[in-house]
Amino acid sequence: MTKTDTPTQSPAPAPIIHLRTVDSTNAYCQRRAQELPCPCVVLADEQTAGRGRQGRSWHSPDGENLYLSILLPLPQADSHLPALPMAAALAGLDALTAVGVTGAWIKWPNDLLIENRKIMGVLIETCRGRGSRELAVVGIGMNLDMSAADLAAIDRPATSVRAEAGRDVERAELLQALIAAFFAAWEQAQTGGAAALQPRWSAASRLLGRSVQVELPNETLSGTVTAFATDGSLCLRLRDGSDRRVQAGDVHLRPL
């Protein structure tokens, strides 16, 4: 892969645009949505203003990790939308398995953890492409080879592929596996919608039956996870016995 901001040929199902440094691959896709091929993958060696969920930042030191955004048409049917986070999480799991890292699980909706240590995060945003077409920007950050100092700079427990695999893993190998798995899952969702991915996605979670706290913008819910709905929402039984479905929020596990 050459470092350029023009598309390069690759065996991937979409062109890969490889940047040396950028503020955020998601922001880059949003700024250039009118010019970029769609679908495409924007990869950066370093992000100077990497974005995380809930307005957090994503620590993105040079050359240590995978930082990429997949730009693709937003599905027309609302029922297909939850397939995006599901496909991203499943692709991460498949890529980890491909390089010999086992034991990862999906912390709703799409974080990947090993025990309580985060290894991958996903930030999905939208923008308008040519002809005002609505596009999705699926931003994925996976810790590949972070130094102990960089891992310690993260405010939550974190790990990396190298730490878990116990060996050096080529970024290109992980990237190819991730992209291939993402587009395979996405293809599956084109016909079957989110329902086609939901069983695997739900099975890869360890939250079923667990006691959790879910932080929403204006309240915090405490309850037990009873299911993951086909539309991607988290089903909770609250302490007063009532049921709530949550579309988005930050989950914290309560001790067993």
Q: Could you say whether residue 249 binds ligand BTN (CB under 6 A)?
A: no
Question: What number of H helices and E strands is found in the chain?
Answer: 6, 12
Quick check: 141 and 121 in contact, CB under 8 A? yes
Among 18, 26, 64, 91, binds ligand BTN (CB under 6 A): 26
Quick check: 150 and 61 in contact, CB under 8 A? yes
From the list 30-38, 66-74, 163-171, 191-199, the region that binds ligand BTN by CB under 6 A is 66-74
Q: To which H or E segment does residue 91 belong?
A: helix 83-98
Structure tokens at 101: 């890292």
Q: Could you say whether residue 141 binds ligand BTN (CB under 6 A)?
A: yes
Q: Could you say whether residue 39 binds ligand BTN (CB under 6 A)?
A: no
Among 16, 17, 24, 117, binds ligand BTN (CB under 6 A): 24
Q: Could you say whether residue 246 binds ligand BTN (CB under 6 A)?
A: no
From residue 78, how far is each of 59, 84, 191 by CA, in Å? 32, 11, 13
Among 41, 69, 80, 161, binds ligand BTN (CB under 6 A): 69
Structure tokens at 151: 């891992």
Quick check: 24 and 49 in contact, CB under 8 A? yes
Quick check: 70 and 39 in contact, CB under 8 A? yes
Among 33, 41, 50, 75, binds ligand BTN (CB under 6 A): 50
Core vs surface per residue 211-247: b (16+ CB within 10 A) or e: ebebeeeeeebebbbeebebebbbbbeeeeeeeeebe
Q: Could you say whether residue 51 binds ligand BTN (CB under 6 A)?
A: yes
Among 38, 47, 59, 85, binds ligand BTN (CB under 6 A): 47
Q: Could you say whether residue 160 binds ligand BTN (CB under 6 A)?
A: no
Site string (98-137) toward ligand BTN, x via CB under 6 A: -------------x---------xxx--------------
Beta bridge partners of 84: none
Q: Which residues bind ligand BTN (CB under 6 A)?
A: 24-26, 47, 50-53, 56, 58, 67-69, 111, 121-123, 139-141
